[in-house]
Amino acid sequence: MVGHEVDTTAAAVVHTDGPDRRVPLGVASDGVLARVRAGAGELTGALRRVAEHVLSDPEAAARATIVELAERSGTSPATVTRFCRAMGFEGYADLRLGIAAETGRSRSAGWTVDIGREIQPGDPLERVLGQIMAADTRAMHDTAALLDLAEVERAAVAIAGADRVNIFGASGSALVGEEMQFSLHRIGVAAWAWNDVHEGLASAALLRPGDVALGISHTGQTRETIEMLAEAGSRGATTVALTGFPRSPLAELADVVLLTASQATTFRPDALSARHPQLVVLDLLYVAVAQRTHDRAHAAFRRTAQAVDGHKAARGALP
């Protein structure tokens, strides 16, 4: 019976000990499903069932009453209401409005071209390309909707004024971090990227107030990255997290949180599909830093470009 269902998960979802990093959505339609997707992994029990049902058929959820959604997800109207609040909405009406607007845009923009369809081994490359493009396009738009530009501004100001910037990441996130380190280095920002936890911890221990540490992890649960960012924070450095989960351990310990979204496909799980959105956010951050250090950045970029120019093949020199 739906009416007798008891939800014991609410306390595990809404944290009261520390700042709430949720961005209130109100009736805004941008990124509603991305917000649900990002939060679903941190929900349990009845709240998780509501999230999974919404994601499995957003259009049906947008048409359903609160009682219908509760019945279909095997929960109760009270649980649906708690779910809405956990996602940053005042009530179910706001959630329905946001989902309806977003799914309507998706149809008109062509984003429903089989994003959720399983990629089969025999699919032609033309269809695979279409799915990848659709998934990446959707992830970019979702990331733009999730991203708090005030947080980007805070991170850019901190990096622009830092004597030293440490970037931490493991595996694929380390590759993204190295790209950011290279970009910052080209405009005269003293930046280092670390993927070895021993070297990273040693470097983090030497940071001081005014320095910046950036930790990159899509799940926000990579232990090595969490340890390195925590060490940097304990030394007074400003800590920045780039992650897809706002209530992850990495996000909880960071001073600034930059959120990304992803659209997984059969052969690209979340961790891989998150790369392009991560690069977009870091590119935005890099440009914001360059804007705030314009004269220094312009001069540094010109000098570094001149330094490597001699290693480019002359036009027409190759056979």
Say which residue, 126 or 15, is predicted with more confidence.
126
Section 285-301 average pLDDT: 93
Query: In percent, how much of the chain has pLDDT > 70?
Result: 82
Res. 21 pLDDT band, cuts 50 70 90: very low
Q: Above 70 in pLDDT, residue 137?
A: yes
pLDDT for position 23: 40
Query: In percent, how much of the chain has pLDDT > 90?
Result: 45
Question: What average pLDDT does the structure give for the chain?
Answer: 83
Q: What is the CA radius of gyration of the chain?
A: 22
Range scoring the smallest mean pLDDT among 2-6, 226-230, 294-298: 2-6
Say which residue, 186 or 319, is predicted with more confidence.
186
The DSSP element (H or E) to which 139 belongs, if any, is helix 125-146
Say which residue, 258 or 109, is predicted with more confidence.
258
CATH for 32-106, options being 1.20.1530.20, 3.40.50.2300, 1.10.10.10, 3.40.50.9100: 1.10.10.10
Say which residue, 131 or 169, is predicted with more confidence.
169
Domain ranges (residues) in the chain = 32-106, 147-308
Task: List, in order, residues 6 or more apart from 266 with CB less than 8 Å away.
Answer: 118, 119, 120
**Can you give the pTM of this predicted structure?**
0.69
Range scoring the smallest mean pLDDT among 60-64, 111-115, 181-185, 186-190: 111-115
Section 14-24 average pLDDT: 39
74 in the Ramachandran plot: left (φ > 0), alpha (ψ -120 to 50) or beta? left
| CATH topology classification for 147-308 | Rossmann fold (3.40.50)
